[in-house]
Amino acid sequence: MKGDAVPRFGKGVKLRLDANGPAMLLVPETALELNESAAAALELVDGKRTLSEIVAAITQRFEVSATEAREHVDALFARLGERGFIRE
């Protein structure tokens, strides 16, 4: 995915943030538990923000380098994209 691409969720994919438990990505017929950084990135997927904007926000929030944040978000989106959970 290029930096100016706007990622959005695939059909039937929903992020669930829960004060009492781990964040989850609800997908067809199952739920994927998310760690904090994955949840933080997915929370920014709104069909408006670009990949670069999401990476910038993660860089700031987790105090990591832009390269590290980009690698992290790329890997996450690639993994979810393979199953159609994230699309451009």
Q: Kindly list the residues in this chain that would bind other proteins in the complex (CB under 8 A).
A: 10-14, 16, 18, 20-21, 24, 26, 28-31, 81-84
Burial track 4-40 (b if 16+ CB lie within 10 A, e otherwise): eebbebeeebeeeeeeeeebbbebeeeebebeebbbb
Cβ nearer to other proteins, comparing 24 with 40: 24
Tell me the closest approach of the beta carbon of residue 20 to other proteins, in angstroms. Answer: 7
Cβ nearer to other proteins, comparing 15 with 56: 15
Cβ nearer to other proteins, comparing 45 with 69: 45
Tell me the closest approach of the beta carbon of residue 15 to other proteins, in angstroms. Answer: 11
Q: Is 79 left (phi over 0), alpha (psi -120 to 50) or beta?
A: alpha
